[in-house]
A = this chain, B = another copy of it.
Amino acid sequence: MIKDRIRMASLHEKIMSPEAAASFIEDNMTVATSGFTPSGYPKAIPLAMAKRAEKEPFGITLITGASVGDELDGALTKTGVLKRRFPYQTNNASRDGINNGSVCYQDMHLSHVTQFIEYGFFGNIDVAIIEAIAITEEGNIIPTTSVGISPQAVKEADMVLIEINTTQSMALEGVHDIYMTEKPPFRKPIPIVGPGDRIGTPYIECDPKKIVGIVECDITDKVRPLGPIDEDSKKISAHIIEFLKEEVKAGRLPENLLPLQSGVGSVANAVLGGLVDSEFENLTCYTEVIQDSMFDLIDAGKVKVASGTSFTPSEEGLKRLNDNMEHYAKYCVLRPMEISNHPEVARRLGVIALNTAIEFDIYGHVNSTNIMGSRMMNGIGGSGDFTRNAYLSFFTTVSTAKNGDISSIVPFVSHVDHTEHDVEVFVTEQGLADVRGLCPRERARKIIENCAHPDFKEMLFDYLNRAEQGKYSHEPHLMDESHSWHHRFLTTGSMKVK
């Protein structure tokens, strides 16, 4: 069966066990793999690596597109193989490793990763491990449910290992559009002018001589659950849709809006899902991840084209996708993450960027990554690629966390991932603050008034009012209290003053 999927017959002799494939990976190597938001990542070879490490300890640097499943991040962290990690993760074990200091993690803009590979900034790429549905007659690789960094990994790696995943639908063939840029000074314009434009090949070019092993795998993606669409998410979605309607009415947006980008996770999924019942038609998406609500939008006839770098469904969504792959493939394009997240394309198309914050502050700085300043959650992902280059950029969050003990709106965020220069609209279940054209003092009043939870409004105004008594009124802060809310939470368990 696996031989049917390896159309270049001379490669059949490279079929081997996961253990044999894993033996190519030596101590201190840098390994780049497929996979983006637990989708399309290799599983059998990493599991064999982890097994080997139990007897024979070794360590690697791992570069992926984005988050990958427990067979990769989890297994390699638990066995001590994962020493250094780029650029994004969501796995419990790897997160623990990062936060206890056993894993060195650099959290990067996803659009920067592929050029770091090509510029040599990560050093040599020793091995690429790519999940594929098939290999073409010429030895080129047809990816599965994500593309991520795979084209650059294959191009730059000394050796390529391939996992043919027999659970992945062959109807994925043709959904990918693989295009790579040259390095400066030879780089040319990326010829995408609409979200559905196809500019590349349906496979990843690969010199078959670099393929040192091919492994069969039938483990399915360990996708992450999407939370139910709760009342807060519905309110956030409603605020955004109402605002977009007003922008159309004011002539600042076309009637079918502009290509939507929506981040990973339940709130982002819910926000997009809210459009199913809206009046908007002929929508397009130019985003990273195609989540469950996109299938709803396609089925409702609302979305005509969705471009991303991965399918990122829930478990139910994965079944729905696999059962109807031919149908959904007609509407979808999967691109390398260099292209899905490219500043050039995001700005040209004028995406409407919808991303989720851990917290934002009264002046409009956003924390997307580190809880209470020090504790890595997942990473910035593509939120910066889209936010900075959007036509309009939104950040959403529920106004409180931890049963109301944390305010998601604070005087000064404990980590800054997006600055006051980058975001136009802030949204919580309480309301929406459009801060275009406002100076910091005006922004602060609007964000507190419209977005903060009533339990914290008075405290926030108190901070602002006292800060304004200082000598400098541009962006008034109290340097001895700027992070006091976080400190209070860390010491008392609540940002509230008892």
Chain A residues close to B by CB (< 8 Å): 84, 86, 98-101, 104-109, 112, 115-116, 119-123, 181, 183-185, 187-191, 193-194, 250-252, 254, 258-259, 342-344, 347-350, 365, 370, 372-376, 380, 384, 388-389, 391, 412, 414-422, 424, 436-439, 441-442, 467-468, 470-477, 479-480, 482-484, 486-487, 490
Contacts and interface: CB of A to CB of B under 8 A. Distances in A.
Copies in the complex: 2
A421 B107 contact: yes
Nearest to A344: B344
Contacts of A347: 342-344
A165 B188 CA distance: 39
Nearest to A108: B421
A417 B419 CA distance: 6
Nearest to A251: B120
A482 B482 contact: yes
A164 B470 CA distance: 44
Q: Lowest 5 CB-CB distances: which A-B pairs, in order?
A: A184-B350, A189-B189, A416-B416, A101-B473, A104-B439
Nearest to A365: B416
Contact of A486 (B191, B251, B342, B479): B479
A486 to B, nearest CB: 4
A380 B418 CA distance: 14
Contacts of A99: 472-474
B370 A475 contact: yes
Nearest to A442: B104
B254 A438 contact: no
A184 B416 contact: no
B122 A437 contact: yes
Given A189-B348, A344-B347, A418-B419, 13 more contacts: A101-B474, A105-B474, A107-B421, A116-B437, A121-B424, A121-B436, A184-B258, A343-B388, A372-B472, A374-B475, A376-B475, A380-B419, A482-B483
Nearest to A104: B439
A439 B185 CA distance: 29
A472 B96 CA distance: 9
A340 to B, nearest CB: 15
Contact of A472 (B184, B251, B350, B374): B374
Contact of A439 (B105, B350, B412, B484): B105
B477 A184 contact: no
Contacts of A418: 419
